[in-house]
Amino acid sequence: MIKTSTGNFFEDFRLGQTIGRATPRTITRGDVALYCGLFGARFAVQSSSAFATAIGYRDAPVDDLLVFHVVFGKTVPDISLNAVANLGYAACRFLAPVFTGDTLSATSEVIGLKENSNRKTGIVYVRTRGAKQDGTPVLEYVRWVMVRKRDETAPAPADDVPPLPAAVEPDRLGAACPPIDGAAYDFALAGSPHRFDDYQIGEKIDHVDGVTVEEAEHQIATRLYQNTARIHFDQFAAEQSRFGRRLIYGGHVISLARALSFNGLANAFHIAAINGGRHVAPLFAGATVYAWSEVLGKSELPGRGDVGALRLRTVATKDRPCADFPLKLAVGPTERRTRVTSEQDYDPAVLLDLDYWALIPR
């Protein structure tokens, strides 16, 4: 009996199959500190227990993206150990605040399969749910990933591509944000006076700063999430690959961009949902990441006067400051939200195109 897991290949997946649960991970103040050392985000709610409890949390919540990365990491051994590329995310919602001491685990359901025409790979769509030790759901998202076949001649299941929403509806936002005491939210402490009403649809914000990524940093981050995808860690094998380099986990770029976005979005303290995200280009150590954001939309939340939602596009680039908001190369606005937009349309400096809802005091 072979003890080593080699992960699932495309032909191993079945529609409707439920996978996972291993291995649970307790999130501690240590994880939060290391995450801070790796990304340096300054959002007051996550940085300060005093700030968080003043406005209505029972403690500083764990950064939403740290929760995302840990849950995502749990799925790698089952879903993406043999992935060629992580293609996208959709319908991601944060469902409960996570505090240090909570233990997270993940399960995934296969909701779509589509073999590629070369028969060497196929696309697997999974809905992953992260939960606490008592079963409380904390996160739900769909991702699709291109996975190698073990055997190119193996029969593949019929194509079944799930419908995916272009965005999470506003009435489904906010479950992970308790009622906020607006009077206790100290904007001077939080670092910016700007609140919901101060942002306009179409407004673009340059986050100004750049941060250079080192191999040790992304490896430590990715291991912190217990994400074992070998492409991030094995330089010996990478030298045989088309890149010749260790590929940095795409979530690393998301966290870098989120931390940079504090400068301009300091009060957008909670990511309530990720509508979609594309890793447009790979990132390697030594490059410097910049970011900018655009306000794609705004929405009140039903029944809530404390916070509103900004729909944001945050774009990350490499070795390219963002004062002029680089994105696409001569592509018309009507194509902007279309999934079939190819990567060739993007400015070659763009790494990430992320569409999400963030909550901000009203």
How near is the Cβ of 331 to its own copies at its closest, in Å?
Answer: 26
Question: Among residue numbers 24 through 43, which ones bind its own copies (CB under 8 A)?
Answer: 24-26, 28-34, 36-40, 42-43
Of the listed pieces 117-125, 160-168, 274-282, 286-294, which binds its own copies according to CB under 8 A?
A: 286-294
Taking residue 210's Cβ as centre, other Cβ atoms within 10 Å add up to 18
Among 92, 124, 138, 205, the residue binding its own copies under the rule CB under 8 A is 205
Of 212 and 344, which has the nearer Cβ to its own copies?
Answer: 212
Q: Which stretch binds its own copies (CB under 8 A): 83-91, 170-178, 218-226, 296-304?
A: 218-226
161: left (phi over 0), alpha (psi -120 to 50) or beta: beta
Select the span of 44-52, 123-131, 164-172, 270-278 touching its own copies (CB under 8 A).
44-52
Bridge partner list, 278? 353
**Segment lying near its own copies (by CB under 8 A), choices 122-130, 222-230, 275-283, 336-344:** 222-230
**Under rule CB under 8 A, residue 201 binds its own copies:** no
Give, as one character, the DSSP assignment of residue 172: G
Distance of alpha carbon 161 from alpha carbon 317, whole angstroms: 30
Say whether residue 1 binds its own copies (CB under 8 A).
Answer: yes
Q: Does 237 bind its own copies (CB under 8 A)?
A: yes
Residues 334-353 that bind its own copies (CB under 8 A): none
Query: 153 is written with which tokens?
Result: 């001649």
Q: Find the angle CA(28)-CA(33)-CA(38) to the nearest 5 degrees.
A: 125
Residue 44 or 92: which CB sits closer to its own copies? 44
- Contact 119/166 with Cβ under 8 angstroms? no
Candidate residues 14, 101, 152, 344; the one interacting with its own copies per rule CB under 8 A: 101
Task: Return the closest-CA partner of residue 257 out of 314, 322, 200, 337.
Answer: 314
> Does 226 sit near its own copies (CB under 8 A)?
yes
Q: Which is nearer to its own copies, 260 or 280 (CB)?
A: 260
- Contacts by 64-67 with C-beta closer than 8 Å and gap 24+? 64/94, 64/176, 64/270, 64/271, 65/251, 65/254, 65/255, 65/258, 65/271, 66/27, 66/31, 66/32, 66/35, 66/225, 66/255, 67/27, 67/94, 67/98, 67/104, 67/130, 67/138, 67/139
Smaller CB distance to its own copies: residue 103 or 344? 103
Candidates 8-16, 46-54, 300-308, 328-336: pick the segment binding its own copies (CB under 8 A): 46-54
Closest of 19, 41, 11, 243 to residue 143, by C-alpha = 19
Minimal distance, residue 153 CB to its own copies, in Å:
23
Which residues ranging from 143 to 182 are in contact with its own copies (CB under 8 A)?
A: none
